[in-house]
Amino acid sequence: MTRATHDLHDLGQSIWLDNITRTILDDGSLAKLIEEYSVTGLTSNPSIFDKAISSGVYNDAIRSSEAGKSAEEVFFDLAIEDLTRAADLFRPIYDRTAGVDGFVSLEVSPELAYDAESTVAAAIELHARAARPNLFIKIPGTPEGLPAVEEAIAAGVPVNVTLLFDAAQYEAAADAYLRGVERRVAAGLDPSVASVASVFMSRWDRAVVDSVPAELKDRLGLAVGGDTYRAYRRVLDSERSQRLLSFGGRAQRLLWASTSTKDPASPDDLYVRGLAAPGTVNTMPDTTLEAFYDHGTLAGVMAADGGGCDEALAAFAAAGVDVTALAATLQKDGADAFVTSWNDLIAIVAEQLAAS
C-alpha cells in the first residue's frame, strides 16, 4: 500500500515541512520524514522559531554563545546553524531536481518590513552567511516588501515571498519576481534565480466562521485557492514568463502555506486534498503531515480554470464578505503576528544571555 504522501509527491506536488527545531535534526526525525514521508523541503518563520526557543531546547546553545553578541545576532547564528544542516539533508533532492526542489527558508527580521533597503541588505548578508544554494530568504509580499523582493532577485538571492493571501497579492509578488529576473537578463547575468510565492489558506475560513451561513463553512479558503491557482497558471503561460524561460530563467513556484485545518469538525486533510496540483508546493505542519500520511486521500488535481471558484466567491460576496478587503486585513494581521513572535523570541534569547 502506498501512502497518501507518496501519491501526492508522484502527482508532482512538493511536500515541505512547516517546522524546524534542533531536536528533529539531532534525533533523525527530519531524515526519516525525507525517507518515508516524501518530504522534500521545509519552511521556518518567526512563530515557528518562537515556539522552538520557548521550549528551552536552545537554552544551552544560547548561554554558550560568543560574548558581546546581541540577542538578534545570537538568534540568527542558531537559525542559520539549524537551517544549513537541514539544507544539507535536502541537498541531494536539490541536485537531483536541478534546483527546483529541496529548499529551506529563513526569514529576515519582521522589523524591517517597512525598510526595503535594509531588507535587501539583510537578505544578501544572510544568504551569503548560510552559503547554501538551496536556502530561500523569506520576504513578506506586502506592498512595502515587494520592492525588496525585486531587488533581492535582481541581486541573485533566492526568495520565498511570504504572507500572500489572494490572487491579486500573488500576482503582485509574481510581477516583482519577474521584474527582478528581467533586470538580470538586461544586465547579462544568470537569470536562473529560484523563488516561491507562499499563499496562506486556512486563515480565510477561520476569519469568516462566525459570519457566513453553514453551507459556506470551510469553503472560502479553497475558493480563494482556486482563483489563485488560475492566476498562477495564467502567469506561467504568459509571453513574459515564457520569454524569461527562453533566456534560462525558471518559474516561480506557487506554495500553499497554512494548510492545517482549524475546524475540528472538518477533514484534517481538507487543504491538502483540495490544493493538490503539480508544479506547486504544500508546506504542512507536523500534525497535518502525520494525518495525511496516516489516512489522507487524494481527489484528483486542481482545475486550471479555478474549478468553480467564481461561483463560490460570488456566494461569499452575497453573504457580505469583501474578499479583497479581507485579504488586506489578513496580510496585515499576519505581518503583525510575526512581529509579535519575533519580539517574543528575541526577548527569550536576551533572557538566556543575561543568565549565562
Which residues are designated catalytic?
A: 138
131: number of Cβ within 10 Å:
10
Phi/psi-derived region of residue 10, left when phi > 0, alpha when psi is between -120 and 50, beta in every other case: alpha
251-265 burial, b for 16+ CB within 10 Å, e for fewer? Answer: bbbbbbbbbbbeeee
Neighbours of 95 (CB within 10 A): 12
CA distance 195 to 237: 17
Residue 201 half-sphere exposure toward CB, CA atoms < 13 A = 33
Assess contact for 193 and 164: CB atoms under 8 A. Answer: no
Which value, to the nearest 10 degrees, does the dihedral of the CA atoms of residues 223, 228, 229, 233 take?
150
Which residues is 106 bridged to in the sheet? 137
C-alpha cell recorded at residue 219:
469553503
Closest alpha carbon to 225 in 326, 303, 297, 325:
303
CB 272 within 8 A of CB 13: no
Distance CA 280, CA 296 (A): 18
Residue 264 phi/psi, 5° resolution?
-65, -15
Which residue intervals of 163-263 are DSSP H helices? 167-186, 202-208, 220-237, 239-246
- Give which of 90, 163, 186 is closest to 335, Cα–Cα: 163
Q: Determine contact, residues 32/54, Cβ cutoff 8 Å.
A: no
Alpha helices, DSSP H only, in 110-189? Answer: 116-130, 146-154, 167-186
